[in-house]
Structures are given as C-alpha cells and as structure tokens.
Amino acid sequence: MENFSEFDLKGTAPQRNFSDIIGHAFNNYMKIIGWSILVTLLTFVVSILISSLTGPLVGYNALESQAEMEELMKDGSFADGSIVTRMFQIPGYLESMLLSGVLGLLMYPVYAGYVYAMHRANTGQTVSLSDFFIGFRQNALQYIVYGLIMGIAVMIGFMLCVLPVFFIIPFFFLGIPFILFENASGIDALKKSFSTGGSNYGTMLAVSFISIIITIAGIILCGIGILLTAPFFYAAMYSAYCAYIGVPREIQNPSH
C-alpha cells in the first residue's frame, strides 16, 4: 500500500492536446534516458533467461521449432494459416507459451516503475534504480490483475487481424498510473482508465498510437533500438495522466 505525503510539487502538467502531451513526455523521458535504457536491458535479459528455462521445462525445443516454421513459410503454409495450427502441434509449444505468459505477468509491476521514475523526474527529484521496482513493493498483485485483463483484450485484438489493438489501447492507457498514484485496485483502475480514455478518445488514441509506433521503430532499428524507444510508451502514459488528472501527489517510496 502507498503512503502519501502532502507537499507542494513543482511538476508540470501538459495541456490536453496531442502535441503538448507528447512534448511533455519527451522532456521527462530525456531526463532519465540512461536509467530507462538500463532497466529495459535488465528486463530484456531476464526475459531471455526465463524463455530459455521455460522451454526445456516443458519439452519445447525453440531451435527445432524455428527451423520447422521456416520450412512451412517456404512452402506457403504461412499464407493459408496452417502454420499456426502446426505450431500448436509442436511438443511443448503451448505449454511453453502459457508458462512464459504467467512469468511475464509476474514481471508486469516493473512498468509502474517507469511511470514512477517519470514522476520523480517531472517533480525535480533524484531518480535511482530502486524507483523502477516500486511496483514490486506496493500493489504488485493489482498490477498483475490489470496486466492479465489487458493481455486478454490485446490477445483478442490480435486475433481480429491486429488492427483493433490500436483502437482498444486508449481505454487501458491510464490503468497503471491509477494504481500507482491513487492506490486503486486493478478493477477500479480499469474503470477509471475506460472512463478517461472514452471521454477523451481522440487525443488518447493519437498519443497511444504514436507511442506504439515509436516502440515499433525501435524494433525495426536492428532490434536493439527498442532499448531506447520502449520506455517512451510509459512516459506518454504519465504525461497523459498529468494532463487529464493532474500532477499526482507524491508517493513515499519505502526504499528512500
């Protein structure tokens, strides 16, 4: 649970428009870019280690699976969709995906750390590595619940030809800040995020869409670029929260 301390903050809040929110997010992100890249790299390494362990645990061989997928793509199976069916027939593939998903949910609270670090940068406070892990010390279960609900919604969006994902993200965009700054439960955060996102859908759609595009651009840049671009999504998330809700009250981080 968070402990709030009341004092005057010097943080800024952008106007409720696309350009102001993105500009505000960029300014905050640049203040902590070094920390953000480090944490993203650490998270990436942990994810790789988890993936390498979960496969053998359920009898899944990633190298063999990749070779088989390449063969299916060569003979045109990708076009008719049979590649998806074949992938799920590979021993251990489904189990590995499910286990990776569970472990991924357990990592979900780290995203709150990016938002919290943006807040500290915005209010002129010193940012440290421990700030990025506040989500594991406070309300961790609520982030996991929220991540599960959002993950299901995104999965359904991908099943509907990917494009719907972009249109549902605005409804989920502010969930993490609501849990972090208002001590909301995962369900309450979902309701508040839906309400704010729905009432300001055009701007929220534009902000979340550009944030996703920036992240995708990092993947295109030889993959390694995602270390630089991925955290911007959470900078935009924080700035949008400040625009529509206001600069939040300060959270007393137990590690400080």
| 90 dihedral zone (left: phi>0; alpha: psi -120 to 50; beta) | beta
pTM of this prediction? Answer: 0.82
What is the mean predicted confidence (pLDDT) over 232-245?
A: 96
Place of tokens 């508040």: 192
Report how far residue 141's alpha carbon sits from residue 99's, in angstroms, rounded to the nearest whole number.
18
What is the mean predicted confidence (pLDDT) over 28-32?
A: 95
Least confident residue range of 71-80, 126-135, 236-245: 71-80
Domain boundaries of the chain, sorted by first residue? 4-49+108-251
Q: Which residues contact 86 (CB under 8 A, 6 or more apart)?
A: 68, 72, 77
CA distances from 136 to 97, 132, 133 (A): 23, 9, 6
Of the pLDDT bands very low, low, confident and very high (cuts 50, 70, 90), residue 249 is confident
pLDDT at 9: 56
Contact 173, 207 (CB under 8 A): yes
pLDDT at residue 225 greater than cutoff 80: no
pLDDT at residue 4 greater than cutoff 50: no
| 251 dihedral zone (left: phi>0; alpha: psi -120 to 50; beta) | beta
Burial of 28 (0-12, 13-18, 19+ CB in 10 A): buried
pLDDT at residue 206 greater than cutoff 70: yes
Report how far residue 160's alpha carbon sits from residue 229's, in angstroms, rounded to the nearest whole number.
26
Beta-carbon count within 10 A of 225 CB:
16
**pLDDT averaged over every residue in the chain:** 82
pLDDT at 95: 64
pLDDT at 97: 67
DSSP conformational letter for 130: G
Comparing 99 with 32, the larger pLDDT belongs to 32
Going by C-alpha positions, the residue among 178, 205, 244, 232 that lies closest to residue 25 is 232
pLDDT tens figures, 163-195: 788 899 999 999 999 999 999 999 999 999 999
pLDDT tens figures, 33-44: 999 999 999 988
Least confident residue range of 42-46, 71-75, 136-140, 145-149: 71-75
Q: What are phi and psi of 183, to 5 degrees?
A: 60, 30
What is the mean predicted confidence (pLDDT) over 144-153?
A: 92
pLDDT at residue 6 greater than cutoff 90: no
Work out the percent of the chain whose per-residue pLDDT is above 90. Answer: 52
Of the pLDDT bands very low, low, confident and very high (cuts 50, 70, 90), residue 7 is very low
